[in-house]
């Protein structure tokens, strides 16, 4: 029993470390408006989900909220995400999963800037202003059944229609896989 617990916590450490590595890879990846990056670390009946979306795609601007209107837009986006997370990231309902928010950071300044955005005429002006930022969120997921092998679908459109593309990755004891999802079509295999 104790041996198993040790083994499990070691696995969890390895998964966390690998997610950290994945995230670092992401940090150097593109900050593309309309694109979300999602990492899922799965441990049988529990999982952690990390999400990173361009702030502009979540609440319409990419700077620290200053005015009352800014702050309202940000808190509405945070509440909307927390309230609807189990609809936005959909696990099979038979698995009995519940989400709890772990860490929500609605504005994390993008220090790297991004060359890709220079090519994108829509975001060119924002690039000249020199500010980009991401909305990051982390949730813990607890399920009644083992979720390994199940499918996850996504439903951003009704809640955050500006997110059109999702780069999703999963890491568990047995698998590591990735999916690109466009307009909520497709799934991620756990
Ligand atoms: Zn941006």
Cα 119 to middle of ligand 1, angstroms:
13
Helix and strand numbers (H, E) in the chain are 5, 9
CA–CA gap between residue 121 and residue 106 (Å, rounded): 25
**pLDDT band per the 50, 70, 90 thresholds, residue 110:** confident
Cα 106 to middle of ligand 1, angstroms:
13
Phi first, then psi: give them for residue 89, nearest 5 degrees. Answer: -115, 105
**Predicted pLDDT of residue 5:** 59
**pLDDT band per the 50, 70, 90 thresholds, residue 173:** confident
**pLDDT band per the 50, 70, 90 thresholds, residue 3:** low
Cα 113 to middle of ligand 1, angstroms:
8
The burial of 45, by beta-carbon neighbours within 10 Å (0-12 exposed, 13-18 middle, 19 or more buried), is given as: middle
The predicted-structure confidence for 26-83, as pLDDT tens digits, reads as follows 444 578 999 999 999 999 999 999 999 999 999 999 999 999 999 999 999 999 999 9
Identify the domain containing residue 49 by its residue range: 2-189
**Predicted pLDDT of residue 63:** 94
Residues forming a β-bridge with 103: 138
Based on its alpha-carbon atoms, the radius of gyration of the chain, rounded to whole angstroms, reads: 17
The number of distinct structural domains making up the chain is 1
pTM of the model: 0.79
- Secondary structure class of 131 (helix, strand, coil): coil
Average confidence (pLDDT) over 8-23: 55
Cα 30 to middle of ligand 1, angstroms:
10
Cα 29 to middle of ligand 1, angstroms:
13
Cα 133 to middle of ligand 1, angstroms:
6
The answer to whether 170 touches 188, Cβ cutoff 8 Å, is yes
Whole-Å CA distances, 50 to 26, 47, 105, 168: 12, 10, 11, 10
The predicted-structure confidence for 151-172, as pLDDT tens digits, reads as follows 999 999 999 999 999 999 999 8
Average confidence (pLDDT) over 5-25: 55
Residue 43 tokens read as 């441990």
Give the side-chain half-sphere CA count within 13 A for 162: 13
């Amino acid at each position: 029993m104790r041996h198993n617990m040790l083994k499990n916590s070691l696995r969890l450490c390895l998964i966390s470390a690998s997610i950290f590595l994945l995230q670092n890879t992401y940090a150097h990846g593109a900050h593309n408006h309309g694109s979300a990056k999602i990492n899922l670390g799965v441990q049988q009946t529990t999982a952690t989900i990390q999400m990173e979306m361009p702030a502009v795609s979540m609440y319409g601007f990419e700077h620290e909220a200053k005015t009352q209107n800014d702050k309202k837009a940000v808190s509405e986006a945070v509440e909307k995400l927390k309230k609807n997370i189990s609809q936005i990231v959909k696990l099979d309902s038979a698995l009995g999963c519940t989400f709890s928010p772990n860490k929500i950071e609605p504005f994390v300044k993008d220090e790297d800037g991004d060359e890709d955005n220079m090519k994108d005429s829509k975001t060119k002006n924002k690039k000249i202003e020199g500010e980009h930022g991401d909305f990051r969120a982390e949730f813990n997921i607890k399920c009644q059944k083992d979720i390994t092998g199940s499918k996850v679908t996504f439903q951003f459109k009704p809640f955050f229609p500006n997110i059109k593309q999702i780069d999703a990755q999963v890491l568990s004891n047995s698998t590591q896989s990735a999916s690109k999802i466009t307009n909520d079509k497709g799934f991620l295999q756990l």
